[in-house]
Amino acid sequence: MHVLTVLDHPDPESFTASAARSFMAGVEAVGHSVELADLNAEGFDPRWSLADIEADGGGAVPPDVQKEQARLARADAVCLVFPLFWWGMPSMTKGWVDRVWSWGWAYDQLDDPEISLQRPRSGILLVAAGVRSDEMAAGGYLSALETAWIKGTFGYFGFSPRKLEVLYGTKGPLSRRKSLLDQCYRAGYELPAPAAYARRDG
């Protein structure tokens, strides 16, 4: 498989950047090929613009969106790695999703979140969070994100199978962060094939 990792963090020394590197190491250990979209380092513009609206209506697709769509087109699996900000995506990731997974390219209907214009791709979200897992569940945040992202967003984009892995307690001791990085490596190593491939094999 060819696996695209989309990283959102401005600091290459951050936990989030380390999480992306650990995931890619796991992917490479199985023999898959990797590609990194480092959105901050590359200066991706997350602002939804008039050009994006015109593209939705049949106009030219902005070149930066075309570049990201080409990356996605050659990927069999996609991993988004970002820190949890106010129980949601940071603005860079949010803007990348808004602009790149566009109407007419990724989806064109609104009533079935299991149908996409895109072929099935294995999808995983590795989300770094300061909170503990019990606080996250008790507050209802985990089920809210499962609903918004896994049920409500990434099916439209053809992610199948798809999974949310929250990396809890990133501000904890070194041993904690080390075990979270092991979790990321395993997520890469055990990354499932896209649904269509699984069906063909079966």
Residues lying near ligand FMN in the complex (CB under 6 A) are found at 9, 14-16, 83-87, 128-131, 170
Q: Which is nearer to ligand FMN, 170 or 183 (CB)?
A: 170
Pairwise CA distance, residues 107 & 86, whole Å? 27
Query: Residues 48, 53, 56, CA angle at the centre, nearest 5°?
Result: 120
Tokens of residue 185, six digits: 């490596």
Closest CB 131 distance from ligand FMN, rounded Å: 3
Tokens of residue 117, six digits: 């214009």
Side-chain-side CA neighbours of 201 within 13 Å: the count stands at 7
Closest CB 147 distance from ligand FMN, rounded Å: 16
Q: 86: alpha, beta or left, given left = phi > 0 and alpha = psi -120 to 50?
A: left
Closest CB 51 distance from ligand FMN, rounded Å: 28
Q: Which is nearer to ligand FMN, 3 or 180 (CB)?
A: 180
Closest CB 155 distance from ligand FMN, rounded Å: 24
* Helical axes 174-189 vs 15-30, angle rounded to 10°: 40
CB 176 within 8 A of CB 169: yes
Closest CB 91 distance from ligand FMN, rounded Å: 10
Q: Where are the beta strands (DSSP E) in the chain?
A: 2-7, 33-38, 77-83, 121-129, 159-168
Closest CB 85 distance from ligand FMN, rounded Å: 4
Q: Which is nearer to ligand FMN, 171 or 199 (CB)?
A: 171
Q: Which is nearer to ligand FMN, 49 or 133 (CB)?
A: 133
Q: Which is nearer to ligand FMN, 107 or 168 (CB)?
A: 168
Nearest Cα neighbor of 146 from 164, 171, 131 is 164
Q: Which is nearer to ligand FMN, 86 or 201 (CB)?
A: 86
